[in-house]
Amino acid sequence: MKVFHCKSKFDVDYLAGDKLDESHFDHLLGGDEACDIYKPDGSPLCKYRPRWFSEELCGDVLPACRKAAKKTNNRGMAAGDLNKVELGTERPIGVSNKTHFRTIKQDGSLSNTQRGGEVHSGIIGYFDRSVRFPFCRQTSFIIQEAAAWKKFLPYIERADEGFREFMPERWSIQREWADRTASDWVIPQSTFTTVTVNRNFQTAVHKDAGDLHAGFGVMSCLRNQRYDGAYLVFPAYRVAVDYQHGCLCLADVHEWHSNTDFKNMTVGYERITLVFYYRENMIHCKTASQEEEWVKHRKKGDKLV
């Protein structure tokens, strides 16, 4: 196993929303070799383990992943700077922060909903309250794709086993949060509430938000060999990781990160990434039945948490 210590950290805030290429890193690690990458202060940046998931688990979950990663425009900064990506037939209004726009509705009025670039991505598992949905809830995937959801569960359990083995202190903190959360909202046999599934998605430079800060990023990749590139990059440290099929990657997702573009693609190329996490505000969720009663009696202006 390779152990790599980053020597410097650079200010890369200006890259937020940008898509990176191979000029943004000096060291490429991972692939078929396990590695641990540490920041200059000695804290972990990334721990990568190839072949963590068996071929059987990968084969079982792959069709479910394809169903989960639907076309969407709600990925914000991860989808990229809208001044630099195509918006298709949408009519953007007031691209104020590079990553969101508003559209004109059929009646000519301006939509209140902010949208981002279009990608293939989906959220499965459970979700906390929001202005649009002021109650904790199952994602639509669990309801509409119950059989596919069951296929995810062994894979998610295996991801949690890796989290526990390689980052035990962070796992223990997240385990405490999960244990204090109503069981309706915690994925069985794990410390996670939610999983994001991306397909053939070159993420722009972003930091993850909404997940437990005291936890740690847990990711995996399913892929074929019909493309090159798509490396996970931490531009502030000038280091990248080459994701391979069935790998486990534990990373500090509160650092700026992105993946490079796909290269040498042939017909049928595919790269699916899964991101497992605990949504921090789910600690405030009541049980499912209590949530139903709470939202029935909630008054306009009541706080969500």
pLDDT tens per residue across span 248-303 = 999 999 999 999 999 999 999 999 999 999 999 999 999 999 988 877 877 777 77
Residue that is last in its domain, among 95, 116, 137 = 116
pLDDT of residue 106: 61
* Domain containing residue 197: 2-74+120-297
**Does the pLDDT of residue 87 top 50, yes or no?**
no
pLDDT of residue 82: 46
Q: Which helix (H) or strand (E) holds 174?
A: helix 168-179
pLDDT tens string 133-143 = 889 999 999 99
pLDDT of residue 132: 83
How many angstroms separate the CA atoms of 56 and 186, rounded? Answer: 25
DSSP 77-138: GGG--TTTS--TT---B---SSS-BB-B-TTSPBPS--B---EEEEEEEEE---SSS-S-EE
Asked if the structure places residue 225 within a domain, the reply is: yes
Average pLDDT of the chain, as a whole number: 89
The DSSP output letter for 13 is G
pLDDT of residue 98: 53
Residues 275 and 217 in one domain: yes
Residue 148 to residues 152, 192, 219, 223, 245, Cα–Cα distance (Å): 7, 18, 19, 19, 20
**Does the pLDDT of residue 182 top 70, yes or no?**
yes
pTM recorded for the entire structure: 0.86
How many angstroms separate the CA atoms of 134 and 130, rounded? Answer: 5
Instruction: Return the amino acid letter for 244.
Output: Q
**Does the pLDDT of residue 88 top 90, yes or no?**
no
Residues 10 and 44 in one domain: yes
- Number of domain units in the chain: 2
SS (H, E, C) 25-59: CCEEEECCCCEEEECCCCCEEEEEECCCCCHHHHH
pLDDT tens string 42-69 = 999 999 999 999 999 999 999 999 999 9
Asked if the structure places residue 187 within a domain, the reply is: yes
Percentage of the chain with pLDDT > 70? Answer: 85
**Does the pLDDT of residue 9 top 50, yes or no?**
yes
CATH value at residue 247: 3.60.130.30
Asked if the structure places residue 305 within a domain, the reply is: no
Residues 102 and 146 in one domain: no
Contacts of 166 (CB under 8 A, 6+ apart): 47, 49, 248, 250
**Does the pLDDT of residue 77 top 80, yes or no?**
no
Smallest CA-to-CA distance from 139 within 124, 151, 150 is with 124
